Amino acid sequence: MQLRSLILYSKSGKIRELTFRLGELNIITGSSRTGKSLVLDIVDFCLGRDSAPLSVGPVTRTVEWAAVLLQLPDTRAFVARRLPARGKKSVSTAMLEFGAELDLLPYERLETNCDSDELRQQLGRRIGLGDVRSQPRPGSLQAPYTIHLGHAVPLCLQNQDEIITRSLLFHRQGERDGGARLADTLPYFLGAVGEDQAQKQHELAMQRRVLRRKRQDLAVAESADADIDSRLHLLLAQARTAGLIAAGEEFDSRVALLDALREAVRFPPTAAGGEPDQTERAAALQERRTQLRALLNDISEQRQFLRRQETEENTYADVVQRGMSRLTAVNLIPAGTEPRAEDTACPLCGSDLPEPDHAVEDMHHILEDLRGQLTSVGTVRPRREQMLRELAERADAAREELSGVEGALNSLAELEAGRARFRAQAEEQAFLRGRIDAHLSQLPDTGDEYEGSLLQRRAAVAHAQAVVDDLEGDLDTDAMQDRLDHALNLISADMTAYAQRLGIEHSQRLIRLDVRKLTVLADTTDDGIVSLLRIGSGENWVGYHLVAHLALHRFFTLHHRPVPRMLLLDQITQPFYPSDIAKDSGNPDLIHSDADRNTVHGMFELMYHWVNELDGKFQVIVSDHANLPDPWYQDCVRYNWRDGEALIPREWIDEHSGGGEQR
């Protein structure tokens, strides 16, 4: 696959076509911001990349479709893709047509007829890419995938940011999974892994997974069989403790024990029914207990009142008795004796008194009054004693009834506790039944069927192992490694020769390609093997990128590997131009160092002779500032974008009044 032409269609239907020579070195030279770098991005997009790596500017403002006309081994292919709409970064649709005499199509005929996946598949098949499965390296999290054109294109492109870096060797290597997929697919593109071997390698990985799964199944079954009896007897002991199986029942075989456990799970022992709900009765008893306690408190208060009354009466009687004792002398005077007015004698001593004395009569009256009060007190006592006896009898009756009520409540509480214990036992049995059922469901079948199942598992493992052994026999990993080493040795020889022609640092000894780490390795005298990451200066990084890609594509071409026969390089001389003036002029005489001028000249001369040696089988397209005066160089210049010339014509920019500069 080589590029015949690149076509841009403006939004007004105008066409801009860039044509390239097949099998030759094609150079696009020009000043900065003329769109040289966009050529590589457009080719990348047209070969199936979903995201359009086009910077916002004249292209996105003026171009509606981008297309390439490709030369395939037996025909031509026209690929057109509409640029993403404003605000979008990617598009998955495309137009694809094949034809031996096919040329660019007019704007009116452009229409999508496939998606990017189909585009890559069809173009890939045309260059020899079959239905090849890539098997990621051991330990990789990537799933197997089909190798398509999208895995080969990064080997054919080097933009200005990639060719100047020491950390990346290939296009889009730094993107997510980009480096891993390049490392996985390079052995196939180098011929170390054939198409049938790639398929067998994928099948081997699948069969190894099958073998591991069957081994795990067998290990689980054998482990379960080894301790199945101990597990069953543990379940039996738990079932007996919970009352699911009778304590004295014995089992003479594993089958009988399993049947008993299954029976206990399916048909648990019937439990005695509980008493009817006693909630209302308990509530009535509790209410009666409250009433009786209140009655006893009331009786107690009445009795205390009567006792206090009795105590007060006794105290009062004592006081009255003491008063009466003091008046006992009055009893010496006859009661009812009335003193006369003329009687002036003292009733006690007979002495003459100046006036008659009525005190005796008064004392008699007081004494009689006290005696009457004592009589009243004595009259109340029998009635109080009777009331106290009645209260005592009522209290005894209430206590007796309260004792009965509390006894009934205690009985109900004991009954409820029994029912709670029963419920707890039932819950324990239900939990154990579920546990036994879960254990039994995990146990393998027993008996003859179980023994047959173990034999079947062992036979399945043996069969899977035999399949893996056969595939490993067909896939001779040593032979594949030998083929890969052979390819890398050939590539290393070319890389070393090219590096020495350019005079790159550390090129005196062997230069190699590391396909696992995707970098260049150089053997040094003092520092041993150093990678590109440890080699300094932009001149060396560009040089090693160039020699690595030339050596790779020479191998791909001579060994007919399914990789496009073109290499697009962007700004390979950027480390050598010290100023924008030098870049815009492209004149190597403005480079300060003679060594730098010689290196720039040497790189283009190397590419020129390299392409000619392949005799039309390969195409190199370089976009660069350099504009060497050599006749052979000028003959390779396809476009010189200076003095107003650029990828996007000025009239397109003026027509859409966007202004701006191109890259």
DSSP 284-353: HHHHHHHHHHHHHHHHHHHHHHHHHHHHHHHHHHHHHHHHHHHGGGGGGSPTTPPPPSS--B-TTT--B-
341: pLDDT strictly greater than 50: no
Q: What is the pLDDT of residue 274?
A: 47
Identify whether the C-beta of residue 119 lies closer than 8 Å to the C-beta of residue 94.
yes
93: pLDDT strictly greater than 80: yes
Find the range with the poorest average confidence among 68-72, 130-134, 351-355, 630-634.
130-134
413: Cα within 13 Å, side-chain hemisphere: 8
Identify whether the C-beta of residue 187 lies closer than 8 Å to the C-beta of residue 484.
yes
- The dihedral built from the CA positions of residue 310, 311, 314 and 316, taken in this order, carries a sign that is negative
Q: What is the mean pLDDT of residues 274-287?
A: 72
Cβ atoms within 10 A of the Cβ of 189, count? 23
Range among 53-67, 254-268, 607-621 with highest mean pLDDT value: 607-621
Report residue 395 as tokens.
């209290």
Q: What is the pLDDT of residue 630?
A: 93
Q: What is the mean pLDDT of residues 348-358?
A: 65
272: pLDDT strictly greater than 50: no
- Band (316; pLDDT cuts 50, 70, 90): low
pLDDT digits (tens, 9 = 90+) for 188-217: 899 887 766 666 776 777 888 899 999 998
Helix (H, G, I), strand (E, B) or coil at 647: coil
Q: Find all residues with CB under 8 Å of 376, minimum gap 6, and list them.
A: none
273: pLDDT strictly greater than 50: no
- Which residue carries 């932009």 as its tokens? 538
- Band (336; pLDDT cuts 50, 70, 90): very low
pLDDT digits (tens, 9 = 90+) for 516-527: 999 999 888 777
Looking at residue 597, its amino acid is: R
pLDDT digits (tens, 9 = 90+) for 535-545: 888 888 999 99
Helix (H), strand (E) counts: the chain: 18, 16
Identify whether the C-beta of residue 55 lies closer than 8 Å to the C-beta of residue 34.
no
With CA atoms as reference, report the closest residue to 240 among 261, 258, 255, 254. 261
pLDDT digits (tens, 9 = 90+) for 391-436: 888 888 888 877 877 887 777 777 766 666 666 666 676 777 777 7
User: To the nearest whole percent, how much of the chain has pLDDT over 90?
Assistant: 33
- Which residue carries 């006592």 as its tokens? 381
Q: What is the pLDDT of residue 119?
A: 93
Q: What is the pLDDT of residue 450?
A: 53
With CA atoms as reference, report the closest residue to 192 among 118, 259, 132. 132
Helix (H, G, I), strand (E, B) or coil at 530: strand
142: pLDDT strictly greater than 60: no
Q: How far is CA 103 from CA 6, 17, 298, in A?
A: 11, 11, 122
Q: What is the pLDDT of residue 53?
A: 80
